[in-house]
Amino acid sequence: MTARETEWISIPMTVDVPYRFAAGRYLTKTLTQLRDNGRIFAVECPRCRRIQLPPRIVCAQCHVRNGRWVELPLEGTLVAFTIMFLPLTDPTTGKPHEPPFVYGSVRLDGCDSVLDHLIHAEPDRGKVWVGMRCRVVLRPPGERVGDLSDIVHFEPLPDQSRPGS
Amino acid sequence: MKRNVAIVGGGQTYHRARRHDVDQAEMVNEAVRAALKDAGMTMDEMDMVVLGNMEFFEGTHMTDCWLVHATGAYGRQGLKITTGGTVGATVVCAGAHLVASGLCDRVLCIGFEKQEEGDTGAILSGVANPLWGRSMAGAAVGYFAMMGSSYMAAWGAKEEHSAMVAVKARQNARKNKYAHLKLDITVEDVLNSRMLAWPIRMLDMCPASNGACAVILADDKTAKDRCRKPVWIRAMETAHNEQFELDWRDVKTKRPIFSKVCAGRIYGKLGVSDPKTYFDVFEIYEPATWAELVWYEDLGLCGPGEGFRLIEEGKTNIDGPIPVNPSGGVLSTNCIGASAMLRVWEAALQIRGDAGGHQVPKEVRRALTTAYGGTNWTVMIALSGALDD
């Protein structure tokens, strides 16, 4: 007798799940300032003084209500990055980011948190490094929509080179 | 703990990329039957069933209901738990609470994942805040890549060091009959594998596995009456990070990151001053190579910035003084909802001396296990073969 291969059935299915999120009292202020004035605002904890971005109602560490708004400069330092070689799907649009591209975490000057975004640098390990200084590049006024995509990317500040190079 | 809690049995499936031969229930049932057989118990003896997996990975909510026939939970007490990558350990943690409190004497704990059935990348993006950074949150690989770039910049480690972790994991997996990626690879193979997100290559990452694990927890009396080799849960701890503020994108952070906080608390409970000599084996949650190096440091197995020296010197090899993940770990098998439970079960097997081909070649009395949930919180469980330990 010859062994017959068993047929296993599996059924494909695509699910489209739309959401609509409220930004809330704190983040709405930051997003409207970003959209209307091209400025970035964070909140400071009255107790530990940490500057928190995105802004939120309670300081997780101190259990107190965050109050004072602080404007951040549009420049900061790259603390970690990757050069992405996968066509990473943007979950907010369903479209892929075209590889290779650089993205990373930037600590805006004076802020305690980091902001992840695209880094407008060549996907070359010699051209991007931890410690690199960057600035925020915004969409032109009038084209901004009030979400994080109003930041196009970070771009490296001119006249700097990789340490040790 | 008010009452002692023992692992009196357990079991797992063979872990594979493809399991078209079974549906979710049939796969889970394989692990349940293996655990009951190992414990020498029947389903009727279970007071409660606790089940966990990654929410929506398989496209179904309420898996506790859909799988009720396969888990044995029909008509008895049951709980469903969903805490991301930690879930397998959280299920054990919840089961231990039930036994320790006296609410139950015997609890069946189950973790599973059938990764091939859903778009895990899409579902994982739901871990990120929808309005802040989700656009970049398409895969875990980017996060671990940033951890790697921060680690190298901070401490001077090289890509060869992460490759050594990849080799250790897959060589250990070759000794484990249940493991998914049993690869006979070298450091060169890892460095030549496809770049996914610098510095992470294909062989630096865990696979997407299908599989399940089940363990049975019991009270003192059941354990002593019914179990030849009970393994005792001596301590459990959990800790969370604060989102946005704190993680390994800055490995030099001085703030109280969850992994160090959790380790500090569990060591405090047990009176551990030197974890690398107190524990005989570690089963840690390392979905990427760099994560293992950071765990070494956060667990205090070495000083900050010295993790890559441990792997370089072979200290964490299966026959080294500090064996880490002799099973092959998450890097070799990642059926996510089961992965954190597999750490606990594999550690228990080591203490029982039943790990088979990947049993560490020394006496194992105590073990420590860790888990990740979105890399921002952890569950740690300390096990021992003796109650007076």
Query: Mean pLDDT for chain B?
Result: 95
- Let me know the angle formed at the C-alpha of B372 by A101 and B250, rounded to the nearest 5 degrees: 50
Inter-chain residue contact B133 with A83, CB threshold 8 Å: no
Q: Taking residues A65-89, what's their average pLDDT?
A: 94
Q: Taking residues B257-285, what's their average pLDDT?
A: 97
Task: Tell me the two tokens of residue A101.
Answer: 């591209």
What pLDDT shows up at residue A1?
55
Task: Tell me the two tokens of residue A22.
Answer: 């409220």
Inter-chain residue contact B153 with A89, CB threshold 8 Å: no
Task: Tell me the two tokens of residue A157.
Answer: 């500040």
* Chain A hits for B59, Cβ within 8 Å: 13, 15
Inter-chain residue contact B130 with A88, CB threshold 8 Å: no
Reduce the DSSP state of residue B46 to 3 states and report it. coil
Domains in chain B: boundaries: 5-120+208-226
Q: In whole angstroms, how far apart are CA B385 and each of B7, B343, B364?
A: 10, 16, 8
- Paired with A69 in beta bridges are A43
What pLDDT shows up at residue B191?
98
* Chain A hits for B250, Cβ within 8 Å: 79-80, 105, 114
Q: Chain A: residue nearest B150 by CA? A: A80
Inter-chain residue contact B139 with A147, CB threshold 8 Å: no
What pLDDT shows up at residue A62?
94
- DSSP β-ladder status, B366-369 and B281-283: parallel
Q: Taking residues A119-134, what's their average pLDDT?
A: 95
Burial (0-12, 13-18, 19+ Cβ within 10 Å), A50: buried
Task: Give the least confident one: A133-147, B124-138, B203-217.
Answer: B124-138
- Paired with B366 in beta bridges are B384
% of chain B surpassing 90 pLDDT:
85
* CATH assignment, B5-120+208-226: 3.40.47.10
pTM higher than 0.90: yes
Query: Which residue, among A15, A35, A14, has the nearest Cα to A23 in the 3D structure?
Result: A35
- Decide: B371 and B92 in contact? Cβ < 8 Å: no
A145 and chain B in contact, CB less than 8 A: no
Inter-chain residue contact B21 with A61, CB threshold 8 Å: no
How does pLDDT run across A18-59, given as a tens digit for each residue? 889 999 999 999 999 999 999 999 999 999 999 999 999 999
Q: Chain B: residue nearest A113 by CA? A: B245
Determine which helix (DSSP H) or strand (DSSP E) holds B289, and give its type and residue range: helix B289-298
- Decide: B327 and B15 in contact? Cβ < 8 Å: no
- Decide: B168 and B296 in contact? Cβ < 8 Å: no
Q: Taking residues B275-292, what's their average pLDDT?
A: 98
The C-alpha atoms of residue A85 and residue A102 are separated, in whole angstroms, by: 9
Mark which residues 36-95 of A lie under 8 Å from B by CB: 50, 52-54, 60-61, 79-86, 88-93
Query: Mean pLDDT for chain A?
Result: 92
Query: Which residue, among A135, A28, A154, has the nearest Cα to B136 in the 3D structure?
Result: A154
Reduce the DSSP state of residue B331 to 3 states and report it. helix
ipTM metric: 0.90
Top residue of A82, A125, A148 to mutate, by most chain B CBs within 10 Å, is A82
Largest CA distance in chain B: 57
pLDDT band at B178 (very low <50, low <70, confident <90, very high): very high
Query: Which residue, among B354, B382, B384, has the nearest Cα to B369 in the 3D structure?
Result: B382
Write the CB contacts of B88 (distance below 8 Å, at least 6 apart in sequence). Answer: B52, B111, B213, B337, B338, B339, B340, B341, B342, B343, B344, B371
